[in-house]
Homo-oligomer: A and B are copies of this chain.
Amino acid sequence: MKKLINHADSVVSDALTGMAAAHEDLRVDVAAGMVRRATPPRAGKVGLVSGGGSGHEPLHTGFVGYGMLDAACPGEIFTSPAPDPIITATKAVDAGAGVLHVVKNYTGDVLNFEMAAELCADEGVRVLPVLVDDDVAVQDSLYTAGRRGTGATVFVEKIAGALAESDAPLERVAATAAEVNARSRSFGIALTSCTTPAAGKPTFDLPGSEVELGIGIHGEPGRSRAGAAPARELAAIAMDAIHGDQPLAGDLLVMVNGMGGTPLIELYIVFAEVEAYIRGRGARIVRSLVGNYVTSLDMQGFSVTVCHLSDELTGLWDAPVHTPALRWGR
């Protein structure tokens, strides 16, 4: 294993030190494991807190800022954050209007966010959760009861974040976040395994001629394996799975996401195939992202996430955002 790290034990804290140095509009508490906006919470604005294991950067810390998250709690690599930093973050961003927890559906995340929410409620902070479970690949998995939460997290955080900036009440922000999740589906394919710093060797063994269909973002198994195939065929496998679960129709927001080790030029090739597939089903892409947004360390591969837009959701997607990883309109 060759990685740009100092020590397997300090990966997350060293990276947070880098984030603190790079982004003056963030406040990074390395010891507590929390990243929040430098500006204090604004009265009347619902706070947004997310978090989860590290190793998926820019998710979630790269999405803290105006128009998106108020705070993020990065756990250790592929490890849920403990309730304590979630409680600290929730209380720090509450300005009286309550706080939305954006929780990816992994058992550890769900438990720790629930515990944190209960303890915050005891102290008078209203918290509502939204559970993200967009991955159609498998029903249950290594770390999950039900579907896994993957790419739709970006859409939920962006759109709910925009709504929160308009001072919408907590119940409406939570309902819209849930609506984004309900309208979104994802599917991922890996060409290689990731390697965690602690293990120092690939999480799973994938022969040189095979790909993993329906991969999870921690390297947990998908539906099956297949021989390596042209991008067009791999894109069709992902899109068949998504289309089979929620038929493509109307105006779509589509993300072709890299798993961390895949070059951007390949992601654009996949996007071309995804776009042709969608056009062939009579739907159309009206908004898109192509790049690394929800990664799995150094894994090579991609995921596709499709969200069926409404006029309201399109408007919220277009609203200004200013974070390390998504930035437009200001």
Contact = CB atoms under 8 A, between A and B. Distances in A.
B4 A270 contact: yes
A280 interface: no
Given A4-B191, A192-B2, A300-B2, A19 B55 contact: no
A272 B15 contact: yes
Given A4-B231, A15-B269, A263 B21 contact: no
Most B CB contacts (10 A, CB to CB) among A192, A211, A260, A322 go to: A260
Interface stretch (A95-103, A161-169, A172-180, A285-293): A285-293
A261 B298 contact: yes
A295 B21 CA distance: 23
Contact of A18 (B211, B230, B262, B271): B271
Given A264-B292, A298-B263, A327-B328, A191 B17 contact: no
Contacts of A244: none
A297 B5 contact: no
A176 B270 CA distance: 38
Interface in A266-320: 266-273, 275, 285, 288, 290, 292, 295, 297-298, 300-302
A228 B2 contact: yes
Contacts of A273: 6
B22 A288 contact: yes
Contacts of A264: 57-58, 62, 260, 292, 295
Interface string A229-244: 0111010000000000
Contacts of A285: 21
Given A263-B261, A329-B330, A4 B297 contact: no
A54 B295 contact: no
Contacts of A298: 261-263, 300
B327 A275 contact: no
A275 B330 contact: no
Most buried by B among A234, A264, A322, A330: A264
Contacts of A54: 265
Contact of A261 (B261, B322, B330): B261
A11 interface: yes
Contacts of A260: 263-264
25 contacts: A2-B209, A2-B300, A4-B231, A4-B266, A4-B267, A4-B270, A4-B301, A5-B266, A6-B273, A11-B265, A11-B269, A14-B272, A17-B268, A18-B271, A19-B268, A21-B272, A21-B285, A55-B263, A55-B265, A261-B263, A263-B297, A264-B295, A290-B324, A322-B328, A328-B328
Given A18-B267, A21-B272, 5 more contacts: A4-B301, A6-B232, A6-B269, A14-B268, A57-B263
- For the complex of A and B, list the 4 residue pairs with the smallest distance between their C-beta atoms, beginning with the closest: A18-B268, A18-B272, A4-B266, A18-B271
